[in-house]
Structure 1
Protein backbone atom coordinates (compact mmCIF):
# COMPACT_ATOMS: atom_id res chain seq x y z
CA UNK A 1 0.00 0.00 0.00
CA UNK A 2 2.82 2.39 0.87
CA UNK A 3 4.69 1.57 -2.32
CA UNK A 4 1.56 2.06 -4.44
CA UNK A 5 0.86 5.41 -2.81
CA UNK A 6 4.47 6.45 -3.24
CA UNK A 7 4.39 5.44 -6.87
CA UNK A 8 1.25 7.54 -7.46
CA UNK A 9 2.80 10.60 -5.83
CA UNK A 10 6.05 10.13 -7.72
CA UNK A 11 4.26 9.66 -11.04
CA UNK A 12 2.40 12.90 -10.51
CA UNK A 13 5.22 15.04 -9.15
CA UNK A 14 8.51 13.33 -10.08
CA UNK A 15 11.37 12.54 -7.76
CA UNK A 16 12.59 16.08 -7.13
CA UNK A 17 9.14 17.46 -6.33
CA UNK A 18 7.92 14.65 -4.07
CA UNK A 19 8.59 14.67 -0.35
CA UNK A 20 8.05 11.93 2.19
CA UNK A 21 5.20 14.08 3.53
CA UNK A 22 3.52 13.91 0.10
CA UNK A 23 3.87 10.15 0.08
CA UNK A 24 2.64 9.80 3.67
CA UNK A 25 -0.40 11.93 2.84
CA UNK A 26 -1.18 9.80 -0.24
CA UNK A 27 -0.85 6.62 1.83
CA UNK A 28 -2.89 8.12 4.66
CA UNK A 29 -0.03 7.42 7.08
CA UNK A 30 1.91 9.52 9.50
CA UNK A 31 5.44 10.46 8.54
CA UNK A 32 6.69 8.41 11.50
CA UNK A 33 4.88 5.31 10.26
CA UNK A 34 6.39 5.78 6.82
CA UNK A 35 9.86 5.98 8.39
CA UNK A 36 9.12 2.74 10.24
CA UNK A 37 9.05 0.91 6.90
CA UNK A 38 11.53 2.96 4.87
CA UNK A 39 14.58 4.82 6.15
CA UNK A 40 14.37 7.61 3.59
CA UNK A 41 12.91 8.70 0.28
CA UNK A 42 15.69 7.04 -1.71
CA UNK A 43 14.98 3.65 -0.14
CA UNK A 44 11.25 3.94 -0.79
CA UNK A 45 11.69 5.06 -4.38
CA UNK A 46 14.23 2.35 -5.06
CA UNK A 47 11.77 -0.20 -3.72
CA UNK A 48 8.96 1.14 -5.93
CA UNK A 49 11.02 1.28 -9.11
CA UNK A 50 12.55 -2.16 -8.50
CA UNK A 51 9.11 -3.70 -7.98
CA UNK A 52 7.72 -2.08 -11.11
CA UNK A 53 10.68 -3.03 -13.29
CA UNK A 54 10.39 -6.64 -12.09
CA UNK A 55 6.77 -6.62 -13.32
CA UNK A 56 7.82 -4.98 -16.59
CA UNK A 57 10.55 -7.56 -17.14
CA UNK A 58 8.05 -10.36 -16.48
CA UNK A 59 5.66 -8.82 -19.04
CA UNK A 60 8.35 -8.82 -21.72
CA UNK A 61 9.61 -12.30 -20.80
CA UNK A 62 6.05 -13.66 -20.99
CA UNK A 63 5.61 -12.08 -24.41
CA UNK A 64 8.71 -13.90 -25.63
CA UNK A 65 7.59 -17.30 -24.32
CA UNK A 66 7.29 -19.94 -27.00
CA UNK A 67 8.57 -17.88 -29.92
CA UNK A 68 11.71 -18.66 -31.81
CA UNK A 69 11.50 -17.22 -35.29
CA UNK A 70 12.87 -13.77 -35.90
CA UNK A 71 9.65 -12.10 -37.09
CA UNK A 72 7.60 -13.46 -34.17
CA UNK A 73 10.25 -12.37 -31.65
CA UNK A 74 10.36 -8.87 -33.09
CA UNK A 75 6.55 -8.63 -33.22
CA UNK A 76 6.01 -9.87 -29.67
CA UNK A 77 8.85 -7.81 -28.22
CA UNK A 78 7.61 -4.66 -29.98
CA UNK A 79 4.03 -5.33 -28.90
CA UNK A 80 5.07 -5.78 -25.25
CA UNK A 81 7.13 -2.57 -25.27
CA UNK A 82 4.33 -0.63 -26.97
CA UNK A 83 1.75 -1.97 -24.51
CA UNK A 84 3.93 -0.88 -21.62
CA UNK A 85 4.39 2.62 -23.04
CA UNK A 86 0.68 2.88 -23.69
CA UNK A 87 -0.35 1.58 -20.26
CA UNK A 88 2.49 2.62 -17.94
CA UNK A 89 4.29 5.66 -19.36
CA UNK A 90 4.08 7.54 -16.06
CA UNK A 91 5.82 4.72 -14.22
CA UNK A 92 8.54 4.48 -16.86
CA UNK A 93 9.03 8.22 -16.54
CA UNK A 94 9.84 7.61 -12.89
CA UNK A 95 12.45 5.02 -13.92
CA UNK A 96 14.19 7.53 -16.17
CA UNK A 97 14.00 10.15 -13.43
CA UNK A 98 15.66 7.82 -10.92
CA UNK A 99 18.22 6.67 -13.46
CA UNK A 100 19.20 10.30 -14.00
CA UNK A 101 19.29 10.94 -10.25
CA UNK A 102 21.76 8.07 -9.94
CA UNK A 103 24.26 10.23 -11.80
CA UNK A 104 24.19 12.61 -8.83
CA UNK A 105 23.03 10.55 -5.85
CA UNK A 106 24.99 7.42 -4.95
CA UNK A 107 21.98 6.10 -3.00
CA UNK A 108 20.44 5.06 -6.32
CA UNK A 109 23.47 3.76 -8.22
CA UNK A 110 23.52 0.14 -7.11
CA UNK A 111 19.79 -0.37 -7.65
CA UNK A 112 19.84 1.37 -11.02
CA UNK A 113 22.78 -0.76 -12.15
CA UNK A 114 21.00 -3.94 -11.03
CA UNK A 115 17.76 -2.99 -12.75
CA UNK A 116 19.56 -1.99 -15.90
CA UNK A 117 21.47 -5.28 -15.94
CA UNK A 118 18.14 -7.12 -15.84
CA UNK A 119 16.85 -5.02 -18.73
CA UNK A 120 20.03 -5.73 -20.70
CA UNK A 121 19.46 -9.46 -20.16
CA UNK A 122 15.90 -9.18 -21.49
CA UNK A 123 17.09 -7.49 -24.69
CA UNK A 124 19.90 -10.05 -24.98
CA UNK A 125 17.36 -12.87 -24.70
CA UNK A 126 15.23 -11.33 -27.46
CA UNK A 127 18.37 -10.88 -29.56
CA UNK A 128 19.24 -14.56 -29.23
CA UNK A 129 15.65 -15.74 -29.80
CA UNK A 130 15.68 -13.71 -33.02
CA UNK A 131 18.56 -15.87 -34.19
CA UNK A 132 21.43 -13.52 -33.49
CA UNK A 133 24.71 -14.78 -32.06
CA UNK A 134 24.92 -14.25 -28.30
CA UNK A 135 28.60 -13.33 -28.61
CA UNK A 136 27.70 -10.48 -30.97
CA UNK A 137 25.36 -8.88 -28.40
CA UNK A 138 26.56 -5.77 -26.63
CA UNK A 139 25.00 -3.57 -23.97
CA UNK A 140 25.02 -0.92 -26.70
CA UNK A 141 22.28 -2.93 -28.45
CA UNK A 142 20.25 -2.57 -25.28
CA UNK A 143 20.94 1.18 -25.29
CA UNK A 144 19.39 1.47 -28.77
CA UNK A 145 16.21 -0.30 -27.61
CA UNK A 146 16.17 1.79 -24.43
CA UNK A 147 16.64 4.99 -26.41
CA UNK A 148 13.76 4.18 -28.75
CA UNK A 149 11.56 3.20 -25.81
CA UNK A 150 12.38 6.39 -23.89
CA UNK A 151 11.87 8.59 -26.94
CA UNK A 152 8.47 7.10 -27.77
CA UNK A 153 7.40 7.16 -24.12
CA UNK A 154 8.43 10.81 -23.81
CA UNK A 155 6.56 11.77 -26.99
CA UNK A 156 3.49 9.90 -25.74
CA UNK A 157 3.56 11.82 -22.45
CA UNK A 158 4.20 15.12 -24.23
CA UNK A 159 0.84 14.87 -25.98
CA UNK A 160 1.89 13.26 -29.25
CA UNK A 161 -0.24 10.26 -28.42
CA UNK A 162 -0.33 7.34 -30.78
CA UNK A 163 -2.32 4.19 -30.40
CA UNK A 164 -0.62 1.02 -29.25
CA UNK A 165 -0.42 -0.42 -32.78
CA UNK A 166 1.36 2.67 -34.10
CA UNK A 167 3.87 2.53 -31.25
CA UNK A 168 4.46 -1.15 -31.92
CA UNK A 169 5.04 -0.51 -35.63
CA UNK A 170 7.68 2.12 -34.85
CA UNK A 171 9.45 -0.17 -32.40
CA UNK A 172 9.24 -3.06 -34.87
CA UNK A 173 10.99 -1.06 -37.57
CA UNK A 174 13.93 -0.39 -35.26
CA UNK A 175 14.08 -3.96 -33.96
CA UNK A 176 13.97 -5.24 -37.54
CA UNK A 177 17.12 -3.24 -38.33
CA UNK A 178 18.82 -4.01 -35.02
CA UNK A 179 18.03 -7.73 -34.90
Structure 2
Protein backbone atom coordinates (compact mmCIF):
# COMPACT_ATOMS: atom_id res chain seq x y z
CA UNK A 1 0.00 0.00 0.00
CA UNK A 2 1.39 3.41 -0.99
CA UNK A 3 2.12 5.87 1.77
CA UNK A 4 0.14 9.10 1.94
CA UNK A 5 1.86 11.81 -0.17
CA UNK A 6 3.74 14.45 1.80
CA UNK A 7 1.30 17.23 0.82
CA UNK A 8 -1.69 15.23 2.02
CA UNK A 9 0.13 14.43 5.27
CA UNK A 10 0.89 18.09 5.83
CA UNK A 11 -2.72 19.05 5.06
CA UNK A 12 -4.04 16.39 7.46
CA UNK A 13 -1.61 17.57 10.15
CA UNK A 14 -2.79 21.19 9.76
CA UNK A 15 -6.41 20.09 9.91
CA UNK A 16 -5.79 18.07 13.07
CA UNK A 17 -3.89 20.98 14.64
CA UNK A 18 -6.80 23.34 13.92
CA UNK A 19 -9.26 20.84 15.36
CA UNK A 20 -7.15 20.39 18.49
CA UNK A 21 -6.87 24.15 18.94
CA UNK A 22 -10.64 24.57 18.59
CA UNK A 23 -11.22 21.81 21.15
CA UNK A 24 -8.87 23.58 23.55
CA UNK A 25 -10.74 26.87 23.05
CA UNK A 26 -14.07 25.19 23.74
CA UNK A 27 -12.65 23.42 26.80
CA UNK A 28 -11.26 26.68 28.19
CA UNK A 29 -14.74 28.22 28.03
CA UNK A 30 -16.32 25.05 29.37
CA UNK A 31 -14.02 25.05 32.39
CA UNK A 32 -15.33 28.51 33.31
CA UNK A 33 -18.86 27.12 33.46
CA UNK A 34 -17.86 23.89 35.17
CA UNK A 35 -15.81 25.46 37.94
CA UNK A 36 -18.65 27.85 38.69
CA UNK A 37 -21.53 25.36 38.63
CA UNK A 38 -19.85 21.99 39.18
CA UNK A 39 -20.22 18.77 37.24
CA UNK A 40 -23.77 17.85 38.27
CA UNK A 41 -25.23 21.31 37.65
CA UNK A 42 -23.63 22.03 34.27
CA UNK A 43 -25.38 20.99 31.06
CA UNK A 44 -24.09 21.15 27.51
CA UNK A 45 -26.46 24.07 27.03
CA UNK A 46 -24.71 25.97 29.85
CA UNK A 47 -21.36 25.26 28.25
CA UNK A 48 -22.63 26.29 24.82
CA UNK A 49 -23.81 29.63 26.23
CA UNK A 50 -20.47 30.23 27.93
CA UNK A 51 -18.62 29.32 24.74
CA UNK A 52 -20.91 31.28 22.39
CA UNK A 53 -21.36 28.09 20.38
CA UNK A 54 -24.33 26.04 19.30
CA UNK A 55 -25.08 22.63 20.80
CA UNK A 56 -24.48 21.19 17.35
CA UNK A 57 -20.96 22.63 17.32
CA UNK A 58 -20.21 21.11 20.72
CA UNK A 59 -21.40 17.73 19.51
CA UNK A 60 -19.19 18.09 16.44
CA UNK A 61 -16.07 18.25 18.62
CA UNK A 62 -17.19 16.13 21.57
CA UNK A 63 -19.33 13.02 21.67
CA UNK A 64 -21.26 14.10 24.77
CA UNK A 65 -20.99 16.05 28.02
CA UNK A 66 -18.85 13.36 29.64
CA UNK A 67 -16.37 13.42 26.74
CA UNK A 68 -16.06 17.20 27.07
CA UNK A 69 -15.67 17.14 30.85
CA UNK A 70 -12.96 14.45 30.68
CA UNK A 71 -11.09 16.55 28.12
CA UNK A 72 -11.39 19.63 30.34
CA UNK A 73 -10.07 17.83 33.42
CA UNK A 74 -7.14 16.39 31.47
CA UNK A 75 -6.32 19.80 30.01
CA UNK A 76 -6.01 21.75 33.23
CA UNK A 77 -4.52 18.94 35.32
CA UNK A 78 -1.79 18.42 32.73
CA UNK A 79 -0.99 22.12 33.03
CA UNK A 80 -0.90 21.79 36.83
CA UNK A 81 1.50 18.84 36.53
CA UNK A 82 3.73 20.80 34.13
CA UNK A 83 3.91 23.77 36.49
CA UNK A 84 4.86 21.63 39.50
CA UNK A 85 7.35 19.60 37.47
CA UNK A 86 9.01 22.75 36.12
CA UNK A 87 9.32 24.13 39.66
CA UNK A 88 10.97 20.93 40.88
CA UNK A 89 13.36 20.80 37.89
CA UNK A 90 14.87 24.13 38.90
CA UNK A 91 15.31 23.12 42.55
CA UNK A 92 18.59 21.61 43.77
CA UNK A 93 18.95 20.14 47.25
CA UNK A 94 16.40 19.19 49.88
CA UNK A 95 15.62 22.67 51.19
CA UNK A 96 15.16 24.14 47.73
CA UNK A 97 12.94 21.23 46.73
CA UNK A 98 10.75 21.79 49.79
CA UNK A 99 10.59 25.53 49.09
CA UNK A 100 9.84 25.12 45.37
CA UNK A 101 7.24 22.42 45.90
CA UNK A 102 5.51 24.39 48.67
CA UNK A 103 5.46 27.63 46.67
CA UNK A 104 4.10 25.91 43.56
CA UNK A 105 1.30 24.23 45.51
CA UNK A 106 0.34 27.46 47.26
CA UNK A 107 0.32 29.42 43.99
CA UNK A 108 -2.01 26.85 42.47
CA UNK A 109 -4.36 26.94 45.46
CA UNK A 110 -4.53 30.74 45.47
CA UNK A 111 -4.83 31.18 41.70
CA UNK A 112 -6.82 28.10 40.68
CA UNK A 113 -8.82 26.92 43.69
CA UNK A 114 -12.13 27.02 41.81
CA UNK A 115 -10.69 24.92 39.00
CA UNK A 116 -9.27 22.37 41.41
CA UNK A 117 -12.76 22.09 42.85
CA UNK A 118 -13.84 20.56 39.53
CA UNK A 119 -11.10 17.92 39.80
CA UNK A 120 -12.26 16.81 43.22
CA UNK A 121 -15.85 16.80 41.98
CA UNK A 122 -14.95 14.50 39.07
CA UNK A 123 -12.77 12.30 41.26
CA UNK A 124 -15.74 11.76 43.58
CA UNK A 125 -18.00 11.04 40.61
CA UNK A 126 -15.56 8.32 39.51
CA UNK A 127 -16.56 6.29 42.55
CA UNK A 128 -20.06 6.09 41.09
CA UNK A 129 -19.47 6.40 37.35
CA UNK A 130 -16.93 4.04 35.80
CA UNK A 131 -16.61 6.31 32.76
CA UNK A 132 -14.43 8.70 34.75
CA UNK A 133 -12.18 6.08 36.34
CA UNK A 134 -9.56 5.78 33.56
CA UNK A 135 -8.88 9.53 33.41
CA UNK A 136 -8.84 9.82 37.22
CA UNK A 137 -6.34 6.94 37.42
CA UNK A 138 -4.23 8.55 34.70
CA UNK A 139 -4.11 11.92 36.43
CA UNK A 140 -3.46 10.46 39.88
CA UNK A 141 -0.60 8.46 38.35
CA UNK A 142 0.98 11.72 37.19
CA UNK A 143 0.46 13.31 40.60
CA UNK A 144 2.03 10.33 42.38
CA UNK A 145 4.99 10.58 40.01
CA UNK A 146 5.45 14.23 41.05
CA UNK A 147 5.75 13.15 44.69
CA UNK A 148 8.22 10.42 43.71
CA UNK A 149 10.25 13.02 41.79
CA UNK A 150 10.32 15.30 44.83
CA UNK A 151 11.81 12.49 46.93
CA UNK A 152 14.51 11.88 44.32
CA UNK A 153 15.31 15.58 43.92
CA UNK A 154 15.62 15.86 47.69
CA UNK A 155 18.23 13.08 47.67
CA UNK A 156 16.09 10.11 48.71
CA UNK A 157 14.68 7.07 47.02
CA UNK A 158 10.91 7.26 46.73
CA UNK A 159 9.35 4.95 49.34
CA UNK A 160 7.60 1.80 48.15
CA UNK A 161 4.34 3.22 49.46
CA UNK A 162 4.80 6.61 47.77
CA UNK A 163 1.05 6.51 47.06
CA UNK A 164 0.44 7.03 50.80
CA UNK A 165 2.69 10.09 50.81
CA UNK A 166 0.73 11.41 47.85
CA UNK A 167 -2.58 10.71 49.60
CA UNK A 168 -1.48 12.61 52.71
CA UNK A 169 -0.23 15.56 50.68
CA UNK A 170 -3.37 15.54 48.56
CA UNK A 171 -5.53 15.54 51.68
CA UNK A 172 -3.78 18.65 52.96
CA UNK A 173 -4.02 20.28 49.53
CA UNK A 174 -7.76 19.59 49.28
CA UNK A 175 -8.44 20.84 52.81
CA UNK A 176 -6.52 24.08 52.31
CA UNK A 177 -8.02 24.59 48.85
CA UNK A 178 -11.51 24.09 50.25
CA UNK A 179 -10.86 26.70 52.95
CA UNK A 180 -9.79 29.22 50.31
CA UNK A 181 -13.24 28.95 48.75
CA UNK A 182 -14.96 29.65 52.09
CA UNK A 183 -14.40 32.19 54.82
CA UNK A 184 -11.40 30.51 56.49
CA UNK A 185 -8.88 31.65 53.91
CA UNK A 186 -5.23 31.46 54.85
CA UNK A 187 -2.51 33.85 53.76
CA UNK A 188 0.21 32.74 51.36
CA UNK A 189 2.61 32.67 54.28
CA UNK A 190 0.32 30.42 56.33
CA UNK A 191 -0.31 28.05 53.43
CA UNK A 192 3.38 27.88 52.60
CA UNK A 193 4.29 27.16 56.22
CA UNK A 194 1.80 24.28 56.31
CA UNK A 195 3.19 22.67 53.18
CA UNK A 196 6.79 23.23 54.29
CA UNK A 197 6.10 21.49 57.59
CA UNK A 198 4.42 18.55 55.85
CA UNK A 199 7.08 18.18 53.16
CA UNK A 200 9.85 18.44 55.73
CA UNK A 201 8.41 15.33 57.39
CA UNK A 202 8.18 13.50 54.07
CA UNK A 203 11.49 14.51 52.58
Report the TM-score when normalising by structure 1. 0.96
**Structure 1 CA distance for aligned equivalents of residues 188 and 86 of structure 2:** 18
Rg comparison, structure with higher value = 2
1:73-117 Cα distance to aligned partner (Å, 9 max, x none): 111100000000000001100000000011111111101100110
Out of 20, 29, 37, which is 2:61 matched to? 37
Structure 2: distance between partners of 1:63 and 1:165:
18
The number of equivalent residue pairs is: 179
CA RMSD across the alignment: 1.1
Secondary structure of 2:53's counterpart equals coil
In 2 relative to 1, CA 177–76 (structure 1 residues): closer, same or farther, beyond 3 Å?
Answer: same
Q: Is 1:88 matched with 2:124? A: no
Instruction: Please give the secondary structure, in 1, of the residue aligned with 2:184.
Output: coil
Q: Which moved more, 1:90-99 or 1:129-138?
A: 129-138
| Cα distance in 1, alignment partners of residues 175 and 202 from structure 2 | 17
Separation in structure 1 between the aligned mates of residue 99 and residue 161 of structure 2, nearest angstrom: 19
Distance in 1 (alpha carbons) for counterparts of 2:34 and 2:72: 10
Larger RCO: 1 or 2 (CA < 8 Å, sep 6+): 1
Q: Which moved more, 1:132-141 or 1:168-177?
A: 132-141
Structure 2 CA distance for aligned equivalents of residues 94 and 57 of structure 1: 16
The aligned counterpart of 2:177 is: 153
Task: Please identify runs of 4+ aligned residues in structure 1 that moved more than 4 A.
Answer: none
Unaligned runs of 5+ in 2: 1-24
2:69 maps to 1:64 = no
Deviations 1:107-159 (A, max 9, x none): 11101100110000011100121122234452111101111100100011112
Question: Once the 2 structures are TM-superposed, how far is the Cα of residue 4 of structure 1 from its aligned partner?
Answer: 1.1
Maintained 8 Å contact 1:124/1:137: no
Structure 2 counterpart of 1:103, from 94, 105, 127: 127
